[in-house]
Amino acid sequence: MAVRADRRASLELLAPLAGWVLPLAEVPDPVFAGAMAGDGVAIDPIGESLHAPCDGVVVLLGENRHALTVRANGVDVLMHVGIDTMKLGGAGFRMHVRDGEEVRAGQSLLEFDLDAIVNRAPSAITPVLVTGPRCGLIIPRHGDRRVAVGDFLYAIEAAGSANDAVPVAVLPAPGIMVREFRVPFEHGLHARPAAQVAALLANLDAEVSLRARGREANARSVVAMMALGLRYGDVASAHALGHDAAAALSALEGLFEPVGTAAPIRKPAPRTAPPAPGTRVPGLVAARGWAIGVAAPLVSTEPTIGPALGDQAAERTRLVAAIDGVKGFLNRAADASDEIRRTILQAHLAILSDPQLLGDAQAALAGGASAGLAWHTSLRNAAEALQALDDPRMAERRADLLDIERQVLQVLSGAPAGAQVPLPECAIVLADELLPSQLLALEAARLVGLCTARGGATSHVSILAASMGLPALVAAGGAVLAITAGTPLVLDADAGVLIVEPKPAERARLEVLVAARGAQRVRDEGAAQEPAMMLDGAVIDVYCNLASVAEAASALRAGAEGCGLLRTEFLFLARSRAPDETEQLHQYQVIGDALAGRPLTVRTLDAGGDKPMSYLPMPHEANPALGLRGLRTSLAHPELLATQLRAICRVTPHGQCRVLLPMVTDLDDVRAVREQLATASQSLGVPVPPLGVMIETPAAALLADQLAAECDFLSIGSNDLSQYTLAMDRLHPTLAERLDALHPAVLRLIDRATRAGLARRIETSVCGNLASDPEAVPLLIGLGVRELSMAPAQIPRLKALLRTLDTGACAELARRALESVNAVQVRALVRDWSKRNA
Ligand code: PEP
Ligand code: MG
C-alpha cells in the first residue's frame, strides 16, 4: 500500500512509469523546470503505460488524455505525459480510468504510444509533480536512476487533511472582487498557462478562484484549473478576496484577454505579406463564376459584450428585446427573399427560438451574467459542440450560431439589426470568414465576388453566394487578408484562383473570357431542362444530391432528373432523439412530392463515431473513419434501421424511392438489410423498393461482382472510395491536394465496379464529387457510367459538357487513364484530350 497516512501525513509515491528519473530542472520546458506547475521529479519513459503512484481518486484534466492527477491524502499528484502533448489532441493515448474513479497504487491508468510522442512532441519526459498550495517536502529530491513501475519514487510530507487540498470554492462575499477574462491560449488553460497563473499569485495575499460553466477552481492549484477544461476563447471570471485582491486581478489581466469583445471561436487566419502583382492566390470554389473588380477588405469588428446594466430581471428583458429585434429583421428579410435565402433566414429564426439555447442563456443570467455574456456563453457552447462533431457539414452550421450570436450582441450594444455596409463599385469582398448576415448586409448592387481566408465550400454563406450568382472562393488563406483596399482583382471561381493586379493585357483577355462565360452560363441554364444527350445519342441521367427538404425544388429548376443521393443524416444529427417513422416519412414524402414522381434514392443513415448522436450511446473511437460508421451503425441498432426502412417503404407512389446503403464491405451487409427490407415491406403490404449499394470502400469495389449479383443498383461514392484507397483522410488539411479521386488506383476500382454493374445489367451511378468534376466526367462515361448525381448548382454546366462528348472517344480516353501512373498524369491526359477535341 503506497499511502502511509501516519501522524506527519507523509505519502510515499511509487514510480508510475518505467524509465530514468531526472531532476525537474532537466525537463525541456521552463514552466515544469522552474517548478511552476508543482514540485517533484520527472521520468524519461521507456514503457508505454502509466500507473497510479498511490491509492487515491482520479482527477482527469480535460479531454486530451495526456495528463491526469491522482488525489491522495490531501495531495494532488500530477503526471503530465510528455511535453507539449496537449497539441496531440488525445491521439495516441488510451485512458483506462474515469474521472472520480478510485484507484489502487500500481493500477494501470493510461496507455500511450511512445513513438508517436517522440515523433510529434518536443519530448516524452514526464513530470510527476505534487501540486497545490500545501504539499510539503519532497524526499529524496531525485536520483539519476532507472525505475520500474512500482519502485519507490519519492515521499512527501503532506500537510493538512484531504479537504484542505481540494480547491475551496470562494463564495461571493462582500469585498470580493470579480473580473471577467477570456482564455487566449491556443490549447486552452492547460498545464503551462495554469502554472503561470499560480506563479503570478504566489506572493500575493489573496484567495483567488476561477469560475466557468458553473464550476470553480482555486487559482493556486494547477490541477484544479486544468480540470475546468477551459478552451481557447472561453470566458471565465476571476474572484479575489483579501489584502492583495486588486493586485491579483491586475496580475491576471496581463495573462488573459479582457472580455469586452466576442473573440472569434477560432484564431483569425495568420496574415502574410501582401501578394505581389500578378500573384494567383488559390482557394476552394464555393460558388462558380468570374468577377473583375477591386479589393474591398471587410474590416470585421467583433461585437461588444456589454456589462450588466441592471438586475437579473432587467438583463433578461434586454435580452428578450434584442432577440425580438433580430427576429423582426429576419422575418422582414425572409418575406422579401427568394426561396434559398428564405430557407437560411428561417433556419436562423429557428435558432433564435431554440429552447435549449434560451434555457442556457437563462441559466447564465441566473448566475449573474449580463444579457450579452449570457447569450454569448450559450451560443458559443452550442457552436463548440457542433465544431467537436468533426463533421464538416455540421461544423459549418457553427457559423450560423456565431452569426446569430453576433446579431443579438450588435442589437444589445445599440446598433440597429441588419445595418448595411457600403462598398465601392465592383467590390470583391475579402474577409477572414464571412457569416450569412454579414453577406446579406453588404451593398448587393456593388458586390461582384467574394474571397475568404477560411470557411467551407458547403457553408450557408457559400450556398447564399451561389444563390445570389456571386462567384466565391473560400479557404484561400491569410494572403487575401493582406491585399489592400482598391487593389484590382480578378476572381476566377471556376479555376479556384484570385488574381491580384493582373497586367492590362491579361486583364483585357480575362474581360473577354468573363463575358463569354457569362453568356455560356445563360445558355447552359436555358438548356438545363433538356436531357443530357451525347453526340452519339447516349443519354446520361443527371440527378441531384440532396441533404435537406429545402433543396429539392431548386434542384428541379436546375435540371435534375431525380435524386441520386439523399443524405438522411440531416434528419438525425444535432437533436435529442431519433426521428420517428412518421417524422421521417413526412420528410421523405415532401422531397418525393417536390421531385414530382422522379426517382428518389434515400441513403440510410451514414453516421458514426465522428458524428455522435446523444440518443445512441457510441464508444469513443480512436479512428472514427475506420470504426462504427455508416451501415455498421445502423446494423448495430436494428430498431433504428427498421424504422428508417419502414418510413422509406411508406413513401408514395410506391416505386419512387430506392434504398441506398453506405459503407458496405461485403454481401453480409446487403443480406442483413435485404431481410429487414422484406419484413418492412411485407408488414406494410407494399412492394419492396430497389436496394442499392454504395461502392465507397475498396472491399466493395473488389467484390462488386458479388454485390451486383444481389442488389438492384450500385452507386460509387468517390469521396470515401478515394480516402480509403489512397489512405488519406478526406478532411486532412494538408493532404487535400493529393487526395484526388482521379488517381489511377481509384479509377481501376471504379472500372471494376462499372464492369460488375454492366455484367449484371444494373445501373452504376457516381454520386461523389467526381460526378461534377469536368475533367472526371469523360472518364466516368468512358468507364461505363450512365448516371451521375451531383450538387444541383452543377447540373446545367455538366449537362452542357455531356452534350459535347462521344462515348467511344471517352472509352478510349478512359483506357489510357487506367494505365497512367498518378492523378497528375490523368488530369494532364484529360486536359490535352479536351483541347484537341474542343
Ligand atoms: C462519397 O463518399 O462519395 C459519398 C457520396 O458519400 P458522403 O460524401 O456523404 O460520405
Ligand atoms: Mg461516403
From atom 8 of ligand 1, which residue's Cα is the shortest distance away? 719
> Quick one: pLDDT band at residue 706, thresholds 50, 70, 90?
very high
Average pLDDT of span 396-420? 81
Q: Which of 135, 649, 767, 810 is catalytic?
A: 767
Distance 416 CA to ligand 1 centre (A): 42
**E strand map for 73-225:** 75-80, 93-95, 102-103, 108-112, 126-131, 135-139, 146-147, 152-158, 177-182, 207-212, 215-218
Flag whether pLDDT at 204 surpasses 70: yes
Task: Give pLDDT, residue 1.
Answer: 36
pLDDT, one tens digit per residue, over 107-123 is 999 998 888 888 788 88
CA distance 255 to 233: 13
Residue 169: pLDDT band (50, 70, 90) is: very low
Of ligand 1's listed atoms, the one at least distance from the Cα of 715 is 5
**How many Å lie between the centroid of ligand 1 and the Cα of residue 71?**
47
pLDDT in tens, 287-319: 888 899 999 998 766 667 877 788 889 999 999
**CA–CA dist 652, 296 (Å, integer):** 51
pLDDT grade for 248, boundaries at 50, 70 and 90: confident
Is 767 an annotated catalytic residue? yes
Residue 243's pLDDT is: 81
Taking every pair of Cα atoms in the chain, the longest distance, rounded to a whole number of angstroms, is: 96
Distance 775 CA to ligand 2 centre (A): 21
Which of the listed ranges 184-188, 378-382, 500-504, 733-737 does the model predict with the highest average pLDDT?
Answer: 500-504
Name the closest-CA residue to atom 6, ligand 1: 717
Q: Tell me, what's the pLDDT at 709?
A: 98
d(CA 835, CA 838): 5
pLDDT at 140: 67
Please state the atom number of ligand 1 nearest to the C-alpha of residue 768: 3
Residue among 80, 190, 460, 743 flagged as catalytic: 460
Q: Which atom of ligand 1 is nearest to the CA of 721?
A: 2
Q: Does residue 7 register a pLDDT over 50?
A: no
> Which ligand neighbours the alpha carbon of 722 most closely?
1
CA of 165 to the centre of ligand 1 (A): 52
CA of 717 to the centre of ligand 2 (A): 5
600 versus 134: the higher-pLDDT residue is: 600
Atom in ligand 1 nearest the alpha carbon of residue 716:
3
Q: Which of 543, 567, 773 to mutate to test the pocket of ligand 1 (most atoms within 8 A of CB)?
A: 567
User: 686 vs 553, 617, 680, 701, CA distance in Å?
Assistant: 27, 33, 9, 31
Ligand 1 pocket residues where CB is under 6 Å: 565, 567, 606, 696, 717-720, 767-768
Q: pLDDT value at position 165?
A: 32
pLDDT in tens, 775-801: 999 999 999 999 999 988 889 999 999
Tens digit of each residue's pLDDT (9 = 90 or more) over 654-689: 999 999 999 999 999 999 999 999 999 999 999 999
| Index of the ligand 1 atom closest to the CA of residue 723 | 2
Measured from the CA of 770, which atom of ligand 1 is nearest?
3
Q: What percentage of the chain has pLDDT greater than the value 70?
A: 86
Q: Which of 566, 633, 719, 726 to mutate to test the pocket of ligand 1 (most atoms within 8 A of CB)?
A: 719
Tell which one of 720, 773, 785, 794 to mutate to probe ligand 1, the residue whose CB is within 8 A of the most ligand atoms. 720
- Please report which ligand is nearest the Cα atom of 750: 1
Comparing 172 with 325, the larger pLDDT belongs to: 325
Identify which ligand lies nearest to the alpha carbon of 772: 1
Is the model's pLDDT at 547 over the cut of 90? no
Q: Which of 772, 778, 764 is nearest to 810 (CA)?
A: 778
Burial of 478 (0-12, 13-18, 19+ CB in 10 A): middle
The rounded Å distance from CA 666 to ligand 2 centre is 16
Q: What is the pTM of this model?
A: 0.56
The average confidence (pLDDT) of the chain is 84
pLDDT digits (tens, 9 = 90+) for 221-237: 877 788 787 877 777 88
Query: Residue 626 is placed in which grid cell?
Result: 475506420
Q: Which residue has the higher pLDDT, 386 or 361?
A: 361
Q: Residue 695 has what pLDDT?
A: 98
Are 700 and 693 a contacting pair, CB within 8 Å? Answer: yes
For the ranges 182-186, 463-467, 572-576, 580-584, the maximum mean pLDDT occurs at 580-584
Q: What are phi and psi of 164, to 5 degrees?
A: -65, -35
Instruction: Look at residue 831 and tell me whether its pLDDT is greater than 90.
Output: yes
Q: Whose CA is nearest to atom 4 of ligand 1?
A: 717
- 419 by DSSP, 3-state: which? coil
The protein residue with its alpha carbon nearest to ligand 1, atom 10, reads 720
For 322-351, write each residue's pLDDT tens digit: 999 999 988 888 777 666 677 678 778 888
**Which ligand is nearest to the Cα of residue 717, counting in written order?**
1
User: By CB neighbour count within 10 A (0-12 exposed, 13-18 middle, 19+ buried), where does 735 fall?
Assistant: middle
Mean pLDDT of 258-266: 50
> What confidence tier does 375 reach under pLDDT thresholds 50, 70, 90?
very high
The ligand 1 atom at the shortest distance from the C-alpha of residue 569 is 9
pLDDT in tens, 608-636: 645 556 677 666 677 778 888 899 999 99
Instruction: Write down how long the chain is.
Output: 838
Q: Helices in 443-544 by DSSP H: which ranges?
A: 460-467, 504-526
Per-residue pLDDT at 585 exceeds 90: yes
Which of 563, 570, 731, 767 maximizes ligand 1 atoms within 8 Å of its Cβ, making it the mutation to test the pocket?
A: 767
With 90 as the cut, is the pLDDT of residue 701 above it? yes
**CA–centroid distance, residue 686 to ligand 2 (Å):** 29
What does the DSSP assignment read for 56-108? EEEEE-SSS-SEEEEEETTEEEEEE-SBSGGGGTTTTEEE-S-TT-EE-TT-E
Question: Is residue 159 over pLDDT 50?
Answer: no
Best-predicted range by mean pLDDT among 20-34, 389-403, 623-637?
Answer: 623-637
Rounded distance, CA 699 to CA 368, Å? 57
Q: Which three cell numbers stand for residue 60?
A: 482527469
Nine cell digits for residue 729: 483522410
Reply yes or no on whether 460 is catalytic.
yes
Statement: residue 391 has pLDDT above 60? no
| Number of the ligand closest to the Cα of 391 | 1
Residue 567 CA, ligand 2 centroid: distance in Å: 10
Q: Any idea which of 134-138, 357-361, 531-535 has the lowest mean pLDDT?
A: 134-138
- Report residue 729's pLDDT band, with 50, 70 and 90 as the boundaries: confident
Cell of 477: 488563406
pLDDT above 70: residue 527: yes
Q: What is the pLDDT of residue 187?
A: 72
DSSP state of 256: S
